Amino acid sequence: MEKQKLRQLMHALQDELHGSSAIDFESREQLVRLRDDIENLLELSSESRAIEQESIKTGATSAIERLEQRHPTFTRILGNLLDVLAGMGI
């Protein structure tokens, strides 16, 4: 169930990235890297996930701080992604 929710949120992030022209290049690149990191994390074994988790959390927190004032939709999606990942033990 949580993986399905995570996939839905990843698709929502992708849709926002494609549909938003108001986001600056650096923020867009940060979100694309974060999306790719999360997708890669899901493919890793449990042992390897532990190593990558902190990087994902740091990247997501940084993206949220950067976007929260000007892009509330991205902020909401990222917050939900972090909640689902935490629920999965990631």
Number of domains forming the structure of the chain? 1
Query: Does pLDDT of 1 surpass 70?
Result: no
Tokens of 36: 């790719």
Question: 52-83 pLDDT, tens per residue?
Answer: 777 777 888 888 888 887 788 888 888 888 88
* Residue 18 forms part of a structural domain: no
Query: Residue 88: which residues within 8 A CB-CB, separation 6 or more?
Result: 2, 3, 6
- Residue 6: per-residue pLDDT: 82
Which pTM value belongs to this model?
0.69
Work out the average pLDDT over 16-44.
82
Q: What is the pLDDT of residues 31-58, one digit of tens each?
A: 888 888 888 877 776 666 766 777 777 8
In a domain, 68, yes or no: yes
Residue 75 lies in a domain: yes
Q: How far apart are CA 50 and CA 72, in angstroms?
A: 29
pLDDT of 47? 67
Residue 19 resides in a domain: no
